[in-house]
Amino acid sequence: MAKVLMIEDDRELADLLVLYLSKFNMSVKNFEIPSKALEELERDPKQFDLVILDLSLPEIDGIEVCKKIAREYDIPIIISSARSDDTDKIIALEIGADDYLAKPYNPRELVARIQAVLRRRREKPRSKVITCGKIELDEEGYTVKKAGKILNLTSAEFEILSMLIKNRGRVLSRDYILDNTVNIGYDSIDRTVDVIVGRIRKKIEDDPKNPKYIISVRGIGYKFECEE
Q: How big is the chain by its Cα radius of gyration, in Å?
A: 18
Which pLDDT does position 188 carry in this prediction?
56
Per-residue pLDDT tens over the stretch 124-177: 555 578 888 889 998 777 889 998 899 999 888 999 999 999 999 999 999 889
CA distances from 112 to 34, 98, 101, 168, 169 (A): 25, 14, 11, 30, 33
Per-residue pLDDT tens over the stretch 205-214: 999 999 999 9
Cβ(57)–Cβ(34) below 8 Å:
yes
What is the C-alpha separation between 120 and 159, in angstroms, rounded? 8
Q: Are residues 75 and 172 in the same domain?
A: no
What is the C-alpha separation between 113 and 24, in angstroms, rounded? 12
- Strands 50-53 and 77-81 come out as parallel
13: domain CATH number is 3.40.50.2300
Q: Are residues 39 and 139 in the same domain?
A: no
CA distances from 62 to 77, 109, 158, 185, 192 (A): 12, 21, 24, 19, 19
Strand, helix or coil for residue 204: helix
Q: Are residues 8 and 117 in the same domain?
A: yes
Average pLDDT over residues 9-15: 95
| Strands ordered across the beta sheet of 221-224 | 172-173, 221-224, 214-217
> What residue numbers bound the domain in which 163 lies?
130-224
Which letter does DSSP use for residue 222 in this model?
A: E
Q: Are residues 8 and 48 in the same domain?
A: yes
Percentage above 70 pLDDT, the chain: 93
Average pLDDT over residues 182-204: 80
Average pLDDT over residues 41-65: 93
pLDDT exceeds 60 at position 186: no
Q: Tell me the CA end-to-end span of the chain in Å, nearest whole number.
A: 45
Q: Are residues 138 and 107 in the same domain?
A: no
Q: CA torsion angle for 34, 37, 41, 46 (degrees, to 10)?
A: -120
Q: Which of 44, 60, 45, 63 is nearest to 9 (CA)?
A: 60
What is the average pLDDT score of the chain? 89
Q: How confident is the model at residue 14 (pLDDT cuts 50, 70, 90)?
A: very high
Per-residue pLDDT tens over the stretch 108-134: 999 999 998 898 777 655 557 888 888
How many domains is the chain built from?
2
Q: Are residues 113 and 168 in the same domain?
A: no
Cβ(95)–Cβ(66) below 8 Å:
yes
Average pLDDT over residues 18-27: 96
Burial of 198 from C-beta contacts in 10 A (0-12 / 13-18 / 19+): middle
Last residue of one domain, picked from the residues 78, 105, 122: 122
Last residue of one domain, picked from the residues 122, 146, 176: 122
CA distances from 31 to 11, 191, 209, 218 (A): 9, 32, 39, 45
Cβ(121)–Cβ(142) below 8 Å:
yes
Q: Are residues 109 and 134 in the same domain?
A: no
Per-residue pLDDT tens over the stretch 86-104: 888 888 888 889 899 989 9
Q: What predicted TM-score, i.e. pTM, was given to this entire model?
A: 0.63
Last residue of one domain, picked from the residues 122, 156, 190: 122
188: domain CATH number is 1.10.10.10
Strand, helix or coil for residue 79: strand
Q: Are residues 105 and 168 in the same domain?
A: no
